[in-house]
Amino acid sequence: MTDQSNSLHVRDVANLLHPNTNARRHEAQGPMIITRGEGIHVYDDQGKAYIEGLAGLWSVALGFGEKRLAEAAARQMQALPYYHTFSHKSNAPAIELAERLVEMTPEGLTKVFFTNSGSEANDTVVKMIWYYNNALGRPAKKKIISRARAYHGITIIAGSMTGLPMNQRDFDLPLPGFLHLTCPHHYRNALPGESEEDFATRLADELEAMILREGPETVAAFIGEPVMAAGGVMPPPETYWTKIQAVCRRHDVLMVADEVINGFGRLGTPFGCDRYGISPDFMVLSKQLTSSYMPLSAIVLSDQVYQVIADNSDRIGAFGHGFTATGHPVATAVALENLRIIEERGLIAHAAAIAPALQDGLRSRFADHPLVGEVRGVGLIAGVELVADKARKTKFDPPGQVAAYLHARAQEHGLILRAIEDTLAFCPPLIITEAEIGMILDRFGAALDDSYAWVKTRAAPAA
């Protein structure tokens, strides 16, 4: 390690509190410092290359080092580096991006509100829903329904909709009025012999029973990721979204589609809503919107909701919500260029065409492995769940330890994934080639075999 690298490691431990990290463990082991990226690879401060198998945080659609995005940012920085959108002010990139998103998203979504992250966007959606129902004279209609193992962010409101214990424990979350249903994971939560469609029917019945129990006059919205991601990569069971949507419409419950990870080609379609036939009242976008080169998120909302919000803002005097960087000209300029590149290079169609290399490759090579309970996914997102006993679907004790070991071994083999309890998640950049997917499979296979040897050693009786 060079003196400069050593200095950075020491300074990191001395000064940075890292998100989603065990702080004491970090003090002991220090950071992996990434210094540059190119294509699907990133490089650490020792010059070692890694395939970024999670696209950063599910988000770098175009890979690393895309010069056109840097150039778009530089041009906008020179022309107008910052301006706000409060009090009737605007800028050309924000206007053009809003127009583009309205064109791209499902029919009926007509207005765009910009924020800076998925968490802020989901937080804002709830405020909009509360504002909307107050304007309609329905002050009790405020409860939000989500699912166990959902991930919708980490602000106080978004963290309340999230259904992961680590993001709620000791934060006094969820707040009252945020309800959670069974996670729609057939492998873990279906009854013995229950088909995907029957499982979906049971989950829709559970939603309806919750709405009726709470009172439809108190339930404002249902929020869901079309494909759950950060909770462990769970595609919905067959017919799930059709049935959930019907229940919501029956009881005047707004539909919020959290497309922060699914959007802009991840599933081989423009959005998860397109793949599953969802007609939302709100769509939440971020991550691949800019390939995460700049912080940006967007809420696209229906005309029905907008008209009520607009009337209420006129009555009150303003829609009293917004951020310093709402509609930031540099971020929106980068997003526009990012979307142009995705379109020019046909990356959504590419993701659909190349998805079988990832999905079928993982299943054919690893589904029968002694450590693997389930391989699941759709498009260019997948999960491999590890089990202690395949027949019984037994989890390891403690959960997550074997996946963490495999995660570390994968990094040794030059592959960065994400360990989510007992699941390893895959979400490579959309630009990935079939040959590069083969490299991911090879490196994962080596790490899986290393981990199996380690598990057998741990399970062996003492001499």
- Condensed to tens digits (0 to 9), the pLDDT of residues 254-303 reads 999 999 999 999 999 999 999 999 999 999 999 999 999 999 999 999 99
> pLDDT of 54-91, one tens digit each?
999 999 999 999 999 999 999 999 999 999 999 999 99
387-392 average pLDDT score: 95
Q: Average pLDDT of 335-340?
A: 98
Q: SS in 3 state form for the chain? A: CCHHHHHHHHHHHHHCCCCCCCHHHHHHHCCCCEEEEEECEEEECCCCEEEECCHHHHCCCCCECCHHHHHHHHHHHHHCCCCCCCCCCCCHHHHHHHHHHHHHCCCCEEEEEEECCHHHHHHHHHHHHHHHHHHCCCCCCCEEEEECCCCCCCCHHHHHHCCCHHHCCCCCCCCCCEEEECCCCHHHHCCCCCCHHHHHHHHHHHHHHHHHHHCHHHEEEEEECCCECCCCCECCCCCHHHHHHHHHHHCCCEEEEECCCCCCCCCCCCCHHHHHCCCCCEEEECHHHCCCCCCCEEEEEEHHHHHHHHHHHHHHCCCCCCCCCCCCHHHHHHHHHHHHHHHHCCHHHHHHHHHHHHHHHHHHHHCCCCCEEEEEEECCEEEEEECCECCCCECCCCCCHHHHHHHHHHHHCCEECEEECCEEEECCCCCCCHHHHHHHHHHHHHHHHHHHHHHHHHHCCCC
The domain 32-65+346-459 having CATH identifier 3.40.1010.10: the answer here is no
Model pTM? 0.95
Domain 68-344 class in CATH: alpha beta
| Range(s) within the chain of domains with CATH label 3.40.640.10 | 68-344
pLDDT confidence tier of residue 4, bands split at 50, 70 and 90 = low
pLDDT at 463: 40
CATH 3.90.1150.10-classified regions of the chain = 32-65+346-459
For the stretch 134-176, pLDDT in tens is: 999 999 999 999 999 999 999 999 999 999 999 999 999 999 9
